[in-house]
Amino acid sequence: MAEKTNAQPFDPEAILEVRNLRKCFPLKKTITGKVTSELIAVDNVSFKLKAGETLGIVGESGCGKTTLGRTILKLHPSSGGQIIFDGKDITNLKSSQMREIRKQMQIIFQDPYSSLPPRSTVGGILSEPVEVHNIVPKSEVKSYVLDLMEKCGLRDYYYERYPHEFSGGQRQRICIARALSVNPKLVICDEPVSALDVSIQAQIINLLKQLQQDMNLTYVFISHDLSVVKFISDKIGVMYLGSMVEFGTKEDIFSNPLHPYTKALFSAIPHPDPDFKMNRIVLKGDIPSPANPPKGCRFHTRCPYATDICKEKVPEYKDYGNGHCAACHLLEQ
């Protein structure tokens, strides 16, 4: 399925389709500019996402989930594969052509403390994208922005205030309002709640869910917190060292995890009940450096079930029914 992507027609139902996406960063270059070694941050990732759905991407730090999100938005140029957004291949579009499409895809960053300009007021931050993209006539910008602020749970008198006057949760609301100001179809949420406290986290997650229903948004929700991802997602992709090791609907992934890494990840979450006893699979060792990934299956150095074949051959990413895909040699037997 993965080899002949170019010949395949676009799925009309999918708003976002990613085929064999690769992203490499050069590590060393010769004097002539030839790349001699590179870091493969995203390796052969493929998935489809329907409008109105939420895809949760989980993985540990350094697994390439943020790079994947940014490459989909073309904030980094991709090194291979295709990105099809709304029935259009956007992989090789020029930046001037991208400007039109940028309106429809937005991003919410992790750290609300560093992603807002300190010298503009909330009103300024929110009206700028509206004016740049001509969303509404100039005379209506202010009322449009105030309306948007109300939707995101911001009071109208915040319009004249500066970002430093707000707490983390409110700043994240401003970031969300900014992303939604251009009426996007797709929003990439890059760890939007991990910098926030638990009680504020719940407010922001509920807001994101509410806005999704109201505006029919599609989310790619990147997080390292499985319980948050489970709460918000329809589909889940688990990444390890740059590649997608498992992908499927939320129900499939949680009731029947296939890949040993997914199982270990689930069992590693501390359970908020002192009497709860879990058979924890504690993975040994650290994540290998993505600049020098292990041969064969990338997970074999930490996998409790690794066999000889895992050290030699890269497992194939296969569909095990109902779109539940995984890449593991154990499943093939």
Partner 1 sequence: MSKNSNHLSGKEVREIAKQNKKIIKCLEAYKNRKAEESEYLAHMSDPNNILEIDNLHTYFFTEQGVVKAVNGVSFNIPKNATVGVVGESGCGKSVTSMSVMRLIQGPAGQIYAGSIRFNAKDKAGFEKAYDIAKIPISDIHKIRGDQIAMIFQEPMTSLNPVFTIGQQLDEVTFIHNPNATKEEAKAKSIEMLDLVGIAIPERVYNSYPHELSGGMRQRVMISMALASDPRLIIADEPTTALDVTIQAQILDLLRELKTKIDGSIMLITHDLGIIAEMADYVVVMYAGRVIEKGTVREIFHNPLHPYTIGLQKSKPTLESDSETLFNIPGNVPNPINMPNYCYFRERCSKCIKKCSGDYPGMIQVSPTHFVACHLYGEEAESNG
Q: Rounded CA gap, 19 and 82, in Å? A: 5
Minimum CB distance to partner 1 smaller for 202 or for 330: 202
Minimum CB distance to partner 1 smaller for 85 or for 299: 299
Minimum CB–partner distance for residue 40 and partner 1 (Å): 19
Unique residue bearing structure tokens 């948004």: 217
Minimum CB–partner distance for residue 203 and partner 1 (Å): 5
Tell me if 185 sits within 8 A of 217, measured CB to CB.
Answer: yes
| Strand intervals (E) in 146-206 | 186-190
Q: Rounded CA gap, 254 and 262, in Å? A: 9
Minimum CB–partner distance for residue 331 and partner 1 (Å): 21
Minimum CB distance to partner 1 smaller for 31 or for 282: 282
How does strand 35-50 pair with strand 14-29?
antiparallel
C-beta atoms surrounding 251 within 10 Å: 12
C-beta atoms surrounding 258 within 10 Å: 22
Minimum CB–partner distance for residue 76 and partner 1 (Å): 23
Minimum CB–partner distance for residue 276 and partner 1 (Å): 7
Q: Rounded CA gap, 84 and 72, in Å? A: 9
Minimum CB distance to partner 1 smaller for 15 or for 265: 265
Chain residues that interact with partner 1, rule: CB under 8 A: 60-61, 157, 165, 167, 169-170, 197-203, 205-206, 209, 224, 226-228, 230-231, 254, 264-276, 280, 282-284, 286-287
Minimum CB distance to partner 1 smaller for 57 or for 130: 57
Minimum CB–partner distance for residue 206 and partner 1 (Å): 5
Unique residue bearing structure tokens 């900014």: 178
Minimum CB distance to partner 1 smaller for 11 or for 286: 286
Minimum CB distance to partner 1 smaller for 28 or for 280: 280
C-beta atoms surrounding 95 within 10 Å: 9
Torsion of Cα atoms, 242 then 247 then 249 then 253, to 10°? -90
Minimum CB–partner distance for residue 288 and partner 1 (Å): 10
Quick one: CA dihedral 90, 92, 95, 97, positive or negative? negative
Q: Rounded CA gap, 256 and 32, in Å? A: 51
Question: CB within 8 A of 6, min separation 6: which ones?
Answer: 82
